[in-house]
Amino acid sequence: MSATIEEILSKYIPQEAVAVCTRWIVSRNIHLKITGVRTTKLGDYRPLQQGKGHRITVNHDLNPYAFLITFTHEVAHLHSYIKYGAYHDPHGREWKQEFKVLMGHFLSMRFFPYDLELALHRHLSDPPSSSCHDPLLIKALKVYDPPSAIRVYHLDELPHGTHFRLHGEKSRLSFSKGLKNRTRYRCTELASGRDYLVSAIAEVVLLDDESTT
């Protein structure tokens, strides 16, 4: 027998949010696809052909709080699309208002840990285009990630010259950390000598850690 929407959601989000998210999926005809790891995005939204609903994808490897925030982020895009059509700023005033209202409902239920609740209130004061662009929220969420055999760091935690690779990146390129350029570090790819700009909050794995596992 196939699992219900509630049973599937219960594996990925806090139990307190399951009923609300289920109502969204049913009432808006959302086709939720839980994907593999994507280093470029945590989720996305797109409308389907007329009358066929809406498609939202979310990465499977997110902890329950991060999954819920990402799913809500995409539902806010859906609501903005319904209200304002395709020709509005994707992360402009309309989307920010929708996201604040939706996340505000969850915050009023008081199931987030206190440290994460504080980070979310700050995040919602002016939501960026992605939670990935909010270093304080990212670090607050990371506390609730399941333990990993290999320790994952944010790039800005590591000293200059550290050798690393991007966590979850299929290419498995290896880098040396260089100097900071605003919100990114200029890092040298070890095999080719080419420079790349890598986000300060990118999740990375030390090459020395991998060699000992």
What is the per-residue pLDDT across 26-57, written as a single tens digit (0 to 9) for each? 999 999 999 987 767 889 999 988 878 999 99
Q: Say whether both 44 and 106 belong to one domain.
A: yes
Residue type, 167: H
Q: Say whether both 135 and 181 belong to one domain.
A: no
Q: Say whether both 29 and 72 belong to one domain.
A: yes
What confidence tier does 1 reach under pLDDT thresholds 50, 70, 90? low
The residue-averaged pLDDT of 58-63 equals 92
Domain count, the chain: 2
Residue 149 is predicted with a pLDDT of 57
Least confident range from 40-44, 140-144, 163-167, 208-212: namely 208-212
Which residues pair with residue 22 across a beta bridge? none
- Whether the predicted pLDDT of 209 surpasses 70: no
Q: Say whether both 129 and 162 belong to one domain.
A: no
Provide the strand spans (E) within the chain.
30-35, 43-47, 54-59, 153-154, 163-166, 174-176, 180-181, 184-189, 195-199, 203-206
Query: The domain containing residue 37 runs over which residues?
Result: 5-142
Q: Say whether both 28 and 125 belong to one domain.
A: yes
User: Can you give the pTM of this predicted structure?
Assistant: 0.77
Q: Say whether both 58 and 120 belong to one domain.
A: yes
Q: Say whether both 138 and 159 belong to one domain.
A: no
The residue-averaged pLDDT of 101-124 equals 95
176: domain CATH number?
2.30.30
Q: Say whether both 136 and 170 belong to one domain.
A: no
Domain assignment present for residue 148? The answer is no
Residue 210 is predicted with a pLDDT of 55
Domain assignment present for residue 147? The answer is no
Residue 213 is predicted with a pLDDT of 45
